[in-house]
Every structure is written in C-alpha cells, then in structure tokens.
C-alpha cells in the first residue's frame, strides 16, 4: 500500500524532472524518460499554466517532440501519447493566446508526420481502444481545423478516417459527436466553393443535414444528446439572400424553426415523464420488455410494421383482472394506452427510438400483455431491437407531445416545391401599388365613413353586422391590401365574407 509520504516524494521527483527537462538540463533519450516526463506534464495543474511553462521554456517543445516519437508501439501510444493529447484538449489551453499555444503543440505532434501516420494506421486497423478514440478524434478535428496556410496536408488521411465510419459508430456519444464534426469539417475543406464555415447546417449530429428534406422528422439519440446550437437563420438573413434563392431558404428556415418547436416540447415532456424534471404527469412507463415478433406492413389495410413486445411491468392493472374483465376495462377506458399514443424507447439519457402504440385488444388482454409499437422509421426499429436484446432497464415511456400536429406540417414543408404568395411574402418590391377593383374600393370608402361616424353596426347587403373598431380596421386592411391578416372570431369572419359577397358582387 502506497503511503502519503511516498506519493509526495514521487510528486516532488516528477516536478524536478519537469523543470530539468523544460530548462534543458536533462534530455529525453529513452521511452522510460518520455513516460516520466509526460506523467509529470499531466500532474501539473492547472493545465494552462503547465502549457505556458512549456511554450516559454528553452526546451519544452523539443521535449514534447521527442516524447511522442521515442516509442511508436500501440501500448505506448495509447498509454502515454494519446493521454497527452487528452490533456491538451482542456478548453483552458485553447483559450491561451487565442489558440496559438495549442496550435504550436499540435504542429509539434503532427510534423514531421511520423506520429500522425502511426495514429492513422492504428485507427484504420481498429487497434485503438474505445478510451483512446476520444483523444484521437479530438486531435483529428483540431488538425483539420488548422489554417491551410500552415501547410498541414492531412485531407486524404481524414477522408480515410471518415469513410471508415468507426467514429460515428463508437459507443461513447462524445466520440460520435466529434465524428460528425470531423465529417463536416472534411466536407468544408474538400469543397472550395464553401464560404460559410462558422454557422452552417451539418456536422452537429447524425440527423443534421444541409438539405432540410433529408432531415428525419423525429430526432435520433445523438440529436437529443447534442449540445451544439441547432442551425437556423434570422428573418433578415432570409431577405438578404438572392431573390432566386429566397423561397427555398425560407422553406428551409420554416422547417427548422417549426421542428425545433416540436423538439423543445418533446424534450420537456420526456424529461417530466421520466422524472428528470418537475411537472404534472401520469405517463405510463412500460418496462421489462421482451420482443416476441414483428407484424409486417399491410398497405392495403393501412397498417404499418409493428414490433410486438411482452410487457412485464407498467400494466399491472390489467394483470390483476381476469381476461374478460381486461377487455371490458380496455373498452370502457379508451384513453388507457390509447391507440396511436406516442412515446420513446429509452434507458436513462439514451433514446433508441420513438414509436406509436397500435392498440390491439386481443394482444393486450393476454398475460402478460403484448403491446404493438410502430417505430417512426426502420433505423429506430433496428436500434430498438438491439437495445432490447443487449441493454438492461429499457423502458417505453409515453409522452403527451402532440406530434400529430407537427408531423403533417413538417412533411408538407418537405414536399413543397412552390411557395404560394411568394412575391407578396418574400418579394423585394413594394406592395403599396396594389389597387383593389372598383366595387371593393367603394365598399372600403363606405366602411371608412362608418368608422369615422363612430357607428357600431355596419350594413352589408340585407343584414347588419356588429363589429368593433379594431375588427373594422382589420377588415379595411384586408380589402385594401394585397396580403393581410384579418382579426376576429371565425364565425364573424364567415358572416362578413358572405355579406361582402352579397354587397359587392350581387
């Protein structure tokens, strides 16, 4: 057992070694020297202070250069070189001198490319452990993000890393997130026509695409876990675009904004339903789920593919009844596990897929009850099957998010190829030149005179309609403008519309 005094003595020796090497009093000549120096570096806290000492010392950078090259075996690379890279990923280091200190250290590691080539070869051979993938992915992202004027030519290597696909399939979400960012950075660097590299769609997660029509309506696990701000534009950015592109950009933006409204509501409801956030909820949580079969899609009957799962937890109220009583209970309580109820198959923060309940009474009255889940797409179904087989504690949690109100609108935006009233809504020219037909102009004049006289009732055709001043002003605006919003309850608007037709076009 190591005593406190032994730990203190070792810490003192490492500090002395660090100072001697940084000041040029001792050279790195063996793997053992390199191991001790790298350990000494990582013991220095805070990291930002340690890096300042290395950069400002006479031999600090040269010592780092020697340490990462003295041994290129897999064991040393994983245990020491990538541990140093992990240490360098501390955000406080990147904040020094606007990133210049970190840039110098990265170039020391990457040039000449001996170490870089070794790391790439080990990655492509799938030799790196899951723990080593995070610092490796961080290093790749930082290197490809360096200014091109530095002459670091790694584009082909990064292409091989992207095409390998191991990063976005890694177990750790942080590694997958870095993988998405690397993919986006590679696309930007390999496409000379790209101009907006700071705020553009793509690269945040596996459901972030430059083409909004390729974005799945329902989120993926990595999208839910992503911390990067979603991409969307301000209204002024839409109007600053070229006229020929404005409609497509507007549709893109409306899709992203409306979908973010749905995701915000879905996140909130799911956090409340799962108990991670306070709020009133009576959501069902179905657990101890065992998949027993798949009901295939039947387009003629309008039936989607469903996964049948036995539910051993969450539906105890049914198990306490006899079979006839279960059916009567389900018939009498149609809101209990209602048809097309929406929920998420999840475990903790991990969401494997979203699904709708197909309420089949013949299966629900079984013991244990069998629930049919219609997943939103084949990828979600595939992940759900894998999770149910290999992950403990998976639950299907029902949420109250009205996705039925969002989905058709979002799909409608995807399908739109023409924007109605495009010139009125997005056109750059003024609409002040609009002139209604003579009959409408006469009616508008009559209404203005009624408004000026303070009349509370106006006559249109054979009937009188009571409206207040704000409604009258809104009606006048509608009659005299190319595009407008009419204020008033639907019943009154229908009545006004009928009366206007009778009055103007009789």
* Residue pair 421/483 in contact by the 8 Å Cβ criterion: yes
Strand partners, 350: 347
pLDDT of res. 233: 85
d(CA 151, CA 146): 9
* Residue pair 80/33 in contact by the 8 Å Cβ criterion: no
* Residue pair 283/266 in contact by the 8 Å Cβ criterion: no
| Nearest residue to 85 (alpha-carbon basis) of 22, 125, 42 | 42
- Does the predicted model carry a pTM greater than 0.75? no
* Residue pair 38/84 in contact by the 8 Å Cβ criterion: yes
Residues for the chain: how many in total?
Answer: 506
pLDDT in tens, the chain (506 residues): 455 666 678 888 888 888 888 888 888 889 998 999 998 898 888 999 999 999 998 888 999 999 999 999 999 999 999 999 999 999 999 999 888 999 999 999 999 999 999 999 999 999 999 999 999 999 999 998 888 778 788 989 999 999 999 999 998 999 999 999 898 788 767 654 444 545 677 778 888 888 888 888 998 888 888 878 888 888 888 888 777 778 888 888 899 999 999 999 998 888 888 777 777 766 789 999 999 988 877 665 556 788 999 999 988 888 888 877 888 898 888 889 889 999 999 988 888 999 999 988 889 888 889 999 999 888 889 999 999 998 988 999 999 889 999 999 998 888 776 677 777 777 755 556 677 788 888 888 877 887 777 666 665 555 666 667 777 777 777 788 777 766 555 555 555 555 555 555 44
> Is 301 exposed, middle or buried, given 0-12, 13-18 or 19+ CB atoms closer than 10 A?
exposed
Residue written as token pair 């200190």: 101
Q: Give CB contacts under 8 A, 24+ apart, made by 70-76.
A: 70/28, 70/29, 70/30, 70/31, 70/33, 70/34, 71/31, 71/34, 72/114, 72/115, 72/118, 74/122, 74/127, 76/31, 76/34, 76/35
- How many C-beta atoms surround the C-beta of residue 304 within 10 A? 16
d(CA 455, CA 24): 95
Structure tokens that stand for 410 in this block: 């979002």
Q: Which residues contact 181 (CB under 8 A, 6 or more apart)?
A: 141, 203, 204
DSSP 239-263: HHS-HHHHHHHHHHHHHHHHHHHHH
pLDDT of res. 419: 74
> What are the boundaries of each domain within the chain?
4-211, 285-399, 430-504
pLDDT of res. 506: 43
């Amino acid at each position: 057992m190591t005593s406190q005094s032994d730990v203190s003595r070792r810490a003192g020796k490492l500090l002395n070694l660090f100072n001697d090497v940084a000041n040029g009093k001792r050279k790195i000549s063996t793997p053992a020297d390199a191991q001790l120096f790298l350990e000494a570096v990582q013991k220095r806290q805070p990291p930002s202070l340690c890096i300042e000492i290395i950069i400002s010392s006479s031999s600090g950078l040269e010592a780092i250069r020697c340490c990462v090259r003295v041994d290129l075996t897999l064991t040393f690379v994983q245990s020491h070189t990538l541990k140093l890279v992990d240490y360098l990923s501390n955000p406080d280091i990147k904040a020094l001198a606007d990133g210049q200190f970190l840039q110098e250290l990265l170039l020391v590691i990457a040039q000449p490319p001996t170490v870089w080539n070794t790391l790439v070869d080990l990655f492509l051979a799938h030799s790196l452990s899951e723990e080593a993938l995070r610092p490796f992915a961080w290093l790749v992202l930082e290197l490809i993000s360096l200014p091109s004027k530095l002459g670091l030519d790694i584009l082909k290597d990064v292409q091989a890393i992207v095409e390998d696909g191991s990063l976005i399939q890694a177990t750790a979400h942080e590694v997958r997130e870095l993988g998405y960012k690397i993919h986006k950075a590679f696309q930007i660097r390999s496409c000379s026509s790209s101009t907006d590299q700071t705020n553009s769609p793509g690269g945040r997660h596996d459901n972030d695409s430059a083409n909004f029509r390729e974005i799945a309506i329902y989120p993926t696990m990595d999208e839910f876990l992503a911390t990067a701000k979603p991409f969307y534009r301000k209204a002024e950015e839409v109007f600053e675009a070229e006229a020929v592109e404005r409609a497509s950009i507007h549709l893109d933006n409306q899709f992203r904004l409306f979908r973010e409204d749905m995701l915000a509501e879905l996140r909130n409801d799911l956090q409340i339903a799962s108990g991670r956030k306070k709020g009133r909820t009576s959501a069902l949580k179905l657990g101890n789920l065992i998949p027993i079969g798949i009901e295939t899609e039947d387009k003629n009957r309008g039936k989607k593919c469903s996964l049948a799962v036995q539910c051993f937890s969450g539906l105890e109220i049914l198990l306490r009844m006899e079979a006839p009583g279960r059916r009567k209970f389900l018939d009498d309580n149609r809101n209990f596990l209602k048809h097309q109820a929406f929920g998420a198959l999840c475990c903790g923060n991990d969401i494997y897929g979203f699904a709708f309940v197909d309420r089949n009474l013949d299966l629900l009255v079984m013991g244990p009850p069998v629930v049919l889940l219609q997943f939103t797409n084949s990828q979600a179904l595939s992940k759900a099957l894998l999770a149910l087989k290999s992950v403990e504690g998976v639950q299907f949690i029902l949420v109250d998010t009205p996705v039925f109100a969002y989905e058709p609108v979002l799909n409608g935006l995807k399908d739109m190829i023409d924007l109605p009233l495009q010139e009125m809504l997005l056109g750059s020219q003024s609409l002040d030149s609009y002139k209604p037909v003579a009959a409408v102009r006469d009616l508008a004049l009559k209404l203005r005179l009624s408004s000026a006289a303070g009349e509370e009732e106006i006559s249109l055709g054979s009937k009188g309609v009571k409206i207040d001043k704000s409604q009258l002003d809104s009606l006048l605006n509608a009659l005299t403008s190319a595009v407008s919003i009419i204020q008033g309850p639907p019943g009154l608007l229908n009545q006004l519309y009928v009366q206007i037709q009778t009055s103007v076009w009789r």
